[in-house]
């Protein structure tokens, strides 16, 4: 794999300067790490894209943000599940990402605040996502999207719905997700020290979220799902960051899907690190990734 792109290197240099005196939030008490993560994410909500409406609401009793883009096509909508290692971030930290997703897909986006680990480990966050899914109004075709741990929860929710014989999302958009707990994959070894996300950080996130004896459950680590469950998923779009410890998770999932005869689009984005789609104001690759996801989404939505 090549190194960071010029634009990614500039962002990494900026972060090294701005965060030089800050602790790794995963080494702090969870509430302190969560607060620090929220503050450092504020920079990615600069220059928020214009939308028709952005409002705070409740979905199944969960706080949520509803973004309606000016180019709303009027037929589809997306339940958006934010990342953050199942422990950090919120609808607020992902406001910019939600707006870019809504504009790219020409559809409203609802981002929920689900319960976070370690105070609320598996299955609390997943149960909140499922409750939100079941409470969505029936006036649109609903899809689901998520980044990182949010992609894990989005895929886990689809697997649970499939196991229950319930109605599935129309589509799934999965961005650089965490799908397994094998810390010896090629990307975990190659990117063990980052830049950005590290192997040790992911191990701490996993320890907060689910003990080892649960990591063989498909709704914890979706790579453990049986072939029939993966084959029954709705159409997916997946991407991965090349310089990401989680890259191999996406590559393994895509390989499983290909073996089942599925042709879900997958993009490996060169030169970027984990979480790059959060960096929309500063990173052209982030904006391009949303545009690509929206292209796939709108083509399917008709």
Task: Centre a 10 Å sphere on the Cβ of residue 266 and count the other Cβ atoms it contains.
Answer: 18
Contact 158, 230 (CB under 8 A): no
Contacts of 241 (CB under 8 A, 6+ apart): 176, 247, 269, 272, 273, 274, 275, 276
Residue 270's H or E segment, with its range, is strand 266-273
Q: Are 105 and 294 in contact (CB under 8 A)?
A: yes
Active-site residue, selected from the candidate residues 72, 113, 244, 264: 244
Residue of 5, 90, 148, 187 marked active site: 148
Clarify whether 244 is annotated catalytic.
Answer: yes
- Bridge partners of 195, per DSSP, are none
* Catalytic residue status for 94: no
Among the listed residues 262, 265, 182, 266, the one whose alpha carbon sits nearest the alpha carbon of residue 230? 262
> Active-site residue numbers?
148, 244, 274
């Amino acid at each position: 794999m090549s190194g960071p792109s010029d634009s990614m290197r500039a962002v990494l240099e900026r972060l090294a300067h701005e965060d030089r005196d800050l602790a790794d939030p995963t080494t702090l008490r969870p509430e302190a790490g969560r607060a620090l993560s929220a503050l450092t994410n504020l920079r990615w909500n600069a220059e928020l894209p214009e939308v028709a409406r952005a409002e705070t609401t409740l979905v199944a009793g969960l706080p949520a943000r509803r973004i309606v883009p000016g180019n709303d096509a009027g037929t589809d909508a997306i339940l958006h599940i934010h990342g953050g290692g199942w422990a950090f971030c919120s609808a607020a930290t992902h406001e910019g990402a939600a707006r870019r997703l809504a504009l790219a897909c020409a559809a409203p986006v609802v981002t929920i605040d689900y319960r976070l680990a370690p105070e609320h480990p598996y299955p609390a966050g997943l149960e909140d996502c499922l409750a939100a899914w079941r409470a969505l109004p029936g006036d649109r075709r609903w899809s689901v999207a998520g980044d990182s741990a949010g992609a894990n929860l989005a895929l886990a929710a689809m697997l649970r719905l499939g196991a229950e014989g319930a109605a599935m999302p129309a589509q799934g958009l999965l961005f650089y997700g965490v799908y397994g707990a094998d810390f010896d994959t090629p990307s975990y070894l190659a990117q063990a020290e980052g830049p950005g996300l590290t192997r040790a950080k992911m191990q701490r996130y996993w320890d907060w979220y689910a003990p080892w004896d649960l990591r063989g459950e498909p709704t914890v680590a979706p790579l453990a799902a049986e072939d029939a469950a993966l084959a029954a998923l709705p159409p997916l779009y997946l991407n991965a960051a090349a310089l990401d410890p989680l890259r191999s998770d996406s590559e393994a999932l895509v390989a499983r899907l290909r073996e089942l005869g599925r042709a879900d689009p997958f993009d490996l984005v060169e030169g970027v690190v984990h979480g790059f789609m959060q960096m929309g104001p500063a990173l052209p690759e982030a904006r391009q990734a949303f545009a690509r996801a929206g292209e796939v989404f709108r083509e399917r939505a008709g």
